[in-house]
Structure 1
């Protein structure tokens, strides 16, 4: 979570441009909170790692937000064995490159000069190349406890996606981020054209993730334009967002997962690991019941002839991290067959992770017993961090 003015030091020109984009967003609607990515007074990773403060502090000034060399100590203080590290700025770059002009103006302002002559999509491509190079240099830190998530952008030619994945895997990357809002290669993720990609991930025990930030091509931003949607929320990945976006942020991922499950991806690749991050978990039980219902409605469909029900593929192959304000206890109670699905995430040091999330979530699941508590805080997530 490197602040805007320090990005160039790590990622060169693409980092400099991304810094200008964050600065532009802050000019549009100044963010006085600690989560603001444009804080020029931050000179480095300087804050002490305080056991009392670590669960409360957020933003680029938090310990190890800039210097991942300090992250192991943070994990030790938090009591965390290993974690996936997602890229705040690369996700933001994907958003900037993928959204239309209206959405860009709403979130980041309309100043196109920040891109130094490049188009927004071309900037995003250059940033992702620079980010993936950095990831490959830092793929697995601290003997695998810290795992950087590489990005495999959607391309019209699936072979390009496979080539990107191979480069990341050959460099030691253990988890990748895919876009959920655009059909990969112009087809469903269940199409046989994608099988080489899924096979590559399965054979190398590489975790596939879908994450907040790539929903802008799925829903027209016009759905978020209304006088009553002017109360804005500041997120590092998505500045100047609103309640309508967050209430629908799962829809692109729900659609992608439905295609994978009903299209037989997990039947063909039974050891494929999929994690759904920062898109909520409130919808997962409903999605499982919906898919189970439709294989009864359409008994001639291929999915109706698979040996497992859709909900069983979800339970076996997919893990979901709820937002830490969600009533996850009710999810375990309402859908006991999905008890292996839900897993805790700190989202450190992002504001969406909420303060004191460990204790707050423990209060919700501990009354359900030791088995559920252990599943939620440890064993379920082990599927994503082999």
Structure 2
């Protein structure tokens, strides 16, 4: 068994001080028991808004350190202009202050604007100096109309690599299917515009308390959520960004994990054929690079043990709770542990502890 407070959690969320009174009111009306940390979700979950309560919840979960994402910053991530930049700066200052007393256990993911290279670099420099341990970027379109592998972005990747600050891609951060439905520049929403492909809304069925219950996601959306992240990652890997910046680690959060194995195989095939394009080969195969520098989180209920058993990159898969959102499920530890059991204790420890430590080191 894993030791208490040993696991790493690559995906938690916080609601913020502006919603604290609402959360406290709900908690009084619907009090939760001490052991309800896995079953009480949403605004009334213990630690949904208060950082001290969040630490107590992590203790009960057995989680040592947690990345904490905002529920929604998508409009500002996608927007350009002084107001959008100011909004992100204010959020970043609030989030970092929220976690100041956690002793490094709560790690807010600072939000970076990507419409202009200069603005991105300026905010990245500022939040790293302020103590940020992770940053998030949008990826539904090329940042500043450039590939993320463009040399113009190397200053950002160098800064993050040298500071050991990972970069995160999150479904609510501007990608396809984002939490506030941005334009899907990579995949027109018309592809999923069919009665059979739209989500059922207005139901109280607890079985639907998973991704899709918000009315924002249908089956087609979930099946294609990963595409934007895969495109962004492909540019980073094939463009040599991760090879040039070996300290840079990328987290891919809330897109599922089934797609990763075939993606890694495809990157290796393409890398072996660089000579066809008149390009020097990469220093190492992508399958080697991503095992050290890319981490992704499976959805609750995914058979991640089967993925590993079929040769999937065991080093890439990492645990997350999505706490306090309902998508994280009521027994993620038990479910993932059961799926991984046939792969042995070493793989289980990789999934719950070691792999995530690349993004949330002690």
Query: Are 1:288 and 2:264 matched, yes or no?
Result: yes
Measure the CA separation in 1 of the matches of 2:99 and 2:155. 22
Higher mean displacement: 345-354 or 133-142? 133-142
Residue 334 of structure 1 deviates from its aligned partner by 1.7
Higher mean displacement: 297-306 or 191-200? 297-306
Tell me the TM-score normalized by structure 2.
0.83
Query: Are 1:72 and 2:55 matched, yes or no?
Result: yes
Measure the CA separation in 1 of the matches of 2:222 and 2:261. 19
Residue 136 of structure 1 deviates from its aligned partner by 3.5
SS across alignment from 1:54: helix
Aligned to 1:346: 321
Deviations 1:312-345 (A, max 9, x none): 1111111111112211001111225x22111111
Query: For 1:10-29, what aligned pairs fall within 5 Å after superposition?
Result: none
After superposition, the Cα gap between the structure-2 partners of 1:174 and 1:41, relative to the gap in structure 1 and judged at 3 Å, is closer
Measure the CA separation in 2 of the matches of 1:262 and 1:248. 22
Aligned to 1:56: 39
After superposition, the Cα gap between the structure-2 partners of 1:304 and 1:244, relative to the gap in structure 1 and judged at 3 Å, is farther
Which of the residues 331, 339, 347 maps onto 1:372?
Answer: 347
Query: For 1:1-386, what aligned pairs fall within 5 Å after superposition?
Result: 8=18, 43=25, 50=33, 52-91=35-74, 93-94=75-76, 127-155=87-115, 157-213=116-172, 214-215=174-175, 216-232=184-200, 239-301=215-277, 305-335=281-311, 338-386=313-361
Residue 129 of structure 1 deviates from its aligned partner by 3.4
After superposition, the Cα gap between the structure-2 partners of 1:222 and 1:372, relative to the gap in structure 1 and judged at 3 Å, is same
Deviations 1:137-163 (A, max 9, x none): 2354411011111100211x2111000
Measure the CA separation in 1 of the matches of 2:104 and 2:58. 13
Aligned to 2:4: none
Q: Which consecutive residues of structure 1, in runs of 5 or more, have no partner in the other structure?
A: 11-38, 99-119
Structure 2 contact 199–212 (Cα < 8 Å) conserved: no
SS across alignment from 1:43: helix
Structure 2 contact 192–198 (Cα < 8 Å) conserved: no
Aligned to 1:115: none
Q: Which structure ranks higher in relative contact order (CA pairs < 8 Å, sequence separation ≥ 6)?
A: 2
Structure 1 contact 275–319 (Cα < 8 Å) conserved: yes
Deviations 1:150-190 (A, max 9, x none): 100211x2111000111111111100111111211211111
Higher mean displacement: 373-382 or 215-224? 215-224
After superposition, the Cα gap between the structure-2 partners of 1:236 and 1:88, relative to the gap in structure 1 and judged at 3 Å, is farther
Higher mean displacement: 222-231 or 349-358? 222-231
Structure 1 contact 154–182 (Cα < 8 Å) conserved: no
Structure 1 contact 175–207 (Cα < 8 Å) conserved: yes
Q: RMSD of the TM alignment (CA)?
A: 2.8
Measure the CA separation in 2 of the matches of 1:49 and 1:142. 23
Residue 275 of structure 1 deviates from its aligned partner by 0.7
After superposition, the Cα gap between the structure-2 partners of 1:166 and 1:305, relative to the gap in structure 1 and judged at 3 Å, is same
Q: Which consecutive residues of structure 2, in runs of 5 or more, have no partner in the other structure?
A: 1-12, 176-183, 202-209
Residue 2 of structure 1 deviates from its aligned partner by 6.5
After superposition, the Cα gap between the structure-2 partners of 1:140 and 1:180, relative to the gap in structure 1 and judged at 3 Å, is farther
Measure the CA separation in 2 of the matches of 1:367 and 1:200. 40
After superposition, the Cα gap between the structure-2 partners of 1:123 and 1:360, relative to the gap in structure 1 and judged at 3 Å, is farther
Structure 1 contact 232–241 (Cα < 8 Å) conserved: no
Measure the CA separation in 2 of the matches of 1:304 and 1:290. 18
